[in-house]
Amino acid sequence: MQPVFGKSKVTKELLGLIKRIAPSDVSVLIVGESGSGKEVLARKIHDLSDRSDKAFVAVNCGAIPRDLLESELFGHKKGAFTGAIAERVGKIIAADGGTLFLDEIGDMPMDMQIKLLRVLQERVVDPVGSNVSISVDVRLISATHRDIEKEIEAGSFRADLYYRLNVLPLTLAPLRERAEEIPLLANHFSDVYRQGRKSIKFSAHFLAEMMKYHWPGNIRELSNMIHRLSVLHPGEVISLERVNPTMLPSGLQEAAEAIRAPGYESTIDDEDSSEFEDIILMARGIHKVAEEDLSLKEVVNQVEEGLISRALEEVNGNVSMCARILKIQRTTLIERIKKYGLG
């Protein structure tokens, strides 16, 4: 399943920009908080470029031990150092003809920065233990959550490398600044992590609380939560009442615990609830059309199934009450329940 991008104004503007820069081979520097989707954006640039049929190689510079990073990036010859029992092709050479994505470039040690600068300037790689330089043709996209200009002032990042990397700067907004994208992203991840035939769905109240939460871990945190809930509650409608609060992020935990307190009154009225239901359905329909190439009839069927499933959940399976809520004949509802296997 392909990654999904939201429909907020800021994301639309960003996608419009990368469509213009993707055909170029100039270096791109993506700045954004951890978990905000920097690698997804880098892959999108690669997919829209003339290099899309070649390799996309991603390296997290902050996750590789300092003493292994040089070998990981540049490769090494057999016997170049203790433990080098075989020749290794580095990530830069592996990306030849395609795109090299260096995530968390701000964590790269100074000695590696010098070597990377030479690659960018001369388009050659010197594997560890080799006297022969290897020509490479790569498009470099890098990313960081750090303020690189402050790192330069502190003496921990080379200014000349920064100017080579920062030809086309892109800023990726945190999820809290584009909360309107959460319904679409939540539906996407519920399909990605589906356990069995049916993916999880969300009550209007739960969705509202998700949109209010600040998501310090950004899209990665949202993805992890939905993965967890998909395993624990396969095919169910997720609500604050149903979920164990300890399975939720801190802000949602507070909401789930509050709803269990004596005398709790919801802060979401019927009009708000209806609005959030509309958002859920719209997000699910748009997502299905865009990602799965479904017909309008198939989308309508899936939306209808979701409505019936949620209504049955609300009335604890009482078919007569469900029919009254949905304003359809009881016999028609029974037919739909059989059709969608909701019995």
Given this structure, which CATH class describes domain 176-293? mainly alpha
Instruction: Kindly give, in sequence order, each residue whose CB lies less than 8 Å from that of residue 7, ignoring residues fewer than 6 positions away.
Output: 180, 181, 184, 286
Specify the 3-state DSSP secondary structure of 220.
Answer: helix
**Predicted confidence (pLDDT) per residue in 126-141, tens digit:** 988 888 899 999 999 9
The reported pTM is: 0.75
Q: Output the six-digit token pair for 177.
A: 């600044």
Q: Which comes out higher in pLDDT, residue 225 or 304?
A: 225
pLDDT attached to residue 292: 52
pLDDT attached to residue 83: 78
**Predicted confidence (pLDDT) per residue in 180-194, tens digit:** 899 889 989 999 999
Q: Hunting for tokens 């920064």 — which residue is that?
A: 162
Q: Which sign, positive or negative, has the C-alpha torsion 101, 105, 109, 110?
A: positive
pLDDT attached to residue 299: 64
- Angstrom CA distances, 179 to 132, 134, 216, stand at 51, 46, 12
Rg (Cα) of the chain, in Å, rounded? 25
**Predicted confidence (pLDDT) per residue in 240-253, tens digit:** 988 999 999 988 99
Q: Which sign, positive or negative, has the C-alpha torsion 228, 184, 198, 338?
A: positive
CATH architecture assigned to 9-173: 3-Layer(aba) Sandwich (3.40)
Q: Which comes out higher in pLDDT, residue 297 or 14?
A: 14
Per the prediction, the chain carries an average pLDDT of 86
pLDDT attached to residue 204: 84
**Position 59 pLDDT exceeds 90:** yes
pLDDT attached to residue 184: 87
pLDDT attached to residue 238: 93
Q: What is the mean pLDDT of residues 18-43?
A: 95
Q: Which comes out higher in pLDDT, residue 164 or 320?
A: 164
**Predicted confidence (pLDDT) per residue in 259-311, tens digit:** 877 655 555 444 444 445 555 555 555 555 555 555 667 667 777 887 888 77
Domain ranges (residues) in the chain: 9-173, 176-293
Give the amino acid at 203: S
pLDDT attached to residue 25: 94
**Predicted confidence (pLDDT) per residue in 81-118, tens digit:** 777 778 889 999 999 999 999 999 999 999 999 999 99
Give the rounded percent of residues in the chain with a pLDDT score beyond 70: 87
What confidence tier does 1 reach under pLDDT thresholds 50, 70, 90?
very low
